[in-house]
Amino acid sequence: MKNEPTPRHDTEPLPEGWAVALRALDDEGRRKGAAERTRTAYAGDVERFARWCTADGRPTPVDVDVRTIRRYTQSLTERGAAASSVTRALAALRALFRALVRAGIVEGNPAELAPGPRRPQTLPRIVKPADAATLLDEIPADDDHLAIRDRAMLEIAYGCGLRAAELVRLDVTDVHLEDRALRATGKGEKTRTVPLGDPAADAIRRWLARGRPALVGPERGAAAEPALLVSRRGRRLSTSDVRRRMDLWVRAAGLPSDLHPHALRHSYATHLLDGGADLRSIQELLGHARLSTTQVYTRVESSRLKTAYRRSHPRA
């Protein structure tokens, strides 16, 4: 692209104005309880933008306007960045300028006026109810402590619609078996109460009685580890542990290898919709901030109905 600025080398220090901006972004992310992975990703996106701006003769965020941001996102597209990457970069810039407005460094948020790329609309991966049952029934409820844990973990994922990050954040005190409910902590540290079905409640009860005590015993400091789901060594699981263990049981059940923990969350929402639940209730159960996020599941339902129509109607 003509007259496109060449960013400085990544090892060169940023001008003070941009260094201050990055600190303000991180402070705001911590204040809002953003996940560390999100803060790291946004910081990387903003640093790349800051170096691009510095090469373009804009040494501080005050020098940036909406045209600057449009040129930058266009340059990303022309260099082959995926629409999802450009969208995330734009989200990072919006978060940056919100933080700078709050800190009194700039007066407005130019990134709010910059349009994002049009992304192809893809339907979420859904597990059929029969396949979900096959997956869960494949996990034995015997004396294998890790299998007992995995059964509880995936029963919660499918029966409560939790994200993997929400699963691993569950503490024992978040589960209320008498009330058939659990408390989940989602994005932005927002909590919500989700009903527990009988299969999930039974699996949790079995895990608490037979599995967890064997992994988190008195000699391992049981009182010091509040996590509901723990590893072989009695420590809180990570999201990668959840994915790895689900992959193991997906293969054992002979199901498609592209099934992942978030597919269980998508299936939870879709099966609720199929069963007659309204979108507002599903939004609340999923912990979505906006109804528009939940409305993707109406497209799944519409797609399913169209497929049934084409397969069944003589004039389709």
The yes-or-no answer on residue 163 being catalytic is: yes
Q: Which of 187, 192, 236, 304 is catalytic?
A: 187
User: Residues 6 or more apart from 203 whose CB is under 8 A from it?
Assistant: 141, 148, 151, 152, 155, 156
DSSP SS3 for 111: helix
**CA nearest 294: which of 314, 252, 265?**
265
CB atoms inside a 10 Å sphere around CB 115: 10
Active-site residue among 163, 169, 212, 245? Answer: 163
Residue 42 bears catalytic tag: no
Q: Read off φ and ψ for residue 195, nearest 5 degrees.
A: -65, 145
Residue with tokens 């990703």: 41
The active-site residue out of 58, 94, 271, 288 is 288
Query: Distance of alpha carbon 285 from its chain centroid, rounded?
Result: 15
Write down the catalytic residue from 265, 266, 268, 271: 265
- To the query of whether residue 72 is one of the catalytic residues in this protein, the response is no
297 is catalytic: yes
128 tagged catalytic: no
Distance CA 132, CA 136 (A): 6
Q: Which of 183, 206, 262, 304 is catalytic?
A: 262
Q: How far apart are CA 237 and CA 245, in angstroms?
A: 11
Active site residue 187: yes
Residues recognised as catalytic: 163, 187, 262, 265, 288, 297
